[in-house]
Amino acid sequence: MPVSPPRPIKDIEAIRLALRSWPEVETYLQECKGIIIPLGSTEQHGPTGAIGTDVLTAEAVALEVGRRNGVLVTPAQPFGMAEHHLGFAGTMSLRPATLLAVMQDLVLSLARHGFERVFVINGHGGNISTTKAAFAQVHGTAASRGLQVTPNLRCRLSNWFMAGPVMRQARELYGDKEGHHATPSEIAVTLQVEPTLQSKQRPLPKPAAAGPIHGSEDFRRRHPDGRMGSHPSLAIPEHGALLLETAATALSEDLCNFLSEV
């Protein structure tokens, strides 16, 4: 039996967990056992990109996916694993073990109430391996804490910027000027959701090419202005609107498959 029946599109306010009361959440759980956690990072995004780029984008995609499918969206987790960006002012990082513990505790909290499908919409590549490790630990930890976690609990990580249609669209818009960090596609989404950021946009010199990632000092030596082969000055809000639409469509399909998985 599917975990969630098809539901009508709702207002963004209706699917924000932070705006619901506990009885409303209990009622929701009688109909749907799915929930979305937006996961970001607070880290440098080149000389013109916002420090909060990864959480702004993950939350925007998550709210749109939630709205289209009537699935609750938790408050965004704004801090991620960004150790290699610590050479730049404003970056705030969780060590991998800390992020692992945070994600594990958040999933277990939700599972305690009967949520069975936890869909994490992630905006930062550095979170991927740690979040997958957190999912792997969830069931064992639940047992050791005596939590009655349902055997039907499942977690899925969906990285919006790596969805096939999003990567194709970014390639069409920017070609090899997309680069690997502080990309025009992610910056475009931030310009769409936070118009004040448009005032930071300006032409930039050629970026350093993408290279290996070691420590934060090595990162800054290889990528002095924080960019990895990217040209974020190409970003405009209209591109952001297109990318947001493409990401919401792709991830909605992913979410629906996940919710109906047996």
Amino acid letter, 133:
A
Of 59 and 186, nearer to Ni ion (C-beta) is 186
Both tokens of residue 224? 């002095």
Nearest-approach distance from CB 99 to Ni ion, in angstroms: 15
Distance, CA of 170 to CA of 177 (rounded, Å): 9
Distance, CA of 37 to CA of 78 (rounded, Å): 11
Going across the sheet that includes 72-73, the strands are 72-73, 34-39, 117-122, 154-159
Of 54 and 64, nearer to Ni ion (C-beta) is 54
Instruction: Give the H or E element holding residue 154.
Output: strand 154-159
Q: Does 116 bind Ni ion (CB under 5 A)?
A: no
Nearest-approach distance from CB 63 to Ni ion, in angstroms: 18
Which residue of this chain has its Cβ atom nearest to Ni ion in the complex?
54
Q: Per-residue string for binding with Ni ion, 176-205, x by CB under 5 A?
A: ----------x-------------------
Nearest-approach distance from CB 78 to Ni ion, in angstroms: 13
Of 14 and 128, nearer to Ni ion (C-beta) is 128
Q: Per-residue string for binding with Ni ion, 54-73, x by CB under 5 A?
A: x-------------------
Contact stretch for Ni ion (CB under 5 A) within 46-54, 114-122, 141-149, 226-234: 46-54
Q: How far apart are the first and last CA of the chain?
A: 7
Closest listed residue to residue 49, CA positions, set 177, 208, 185, 187: 187
Which residues contribute to the site for Ni ion (CB under 5 A)?
Answer: 53-54, 186
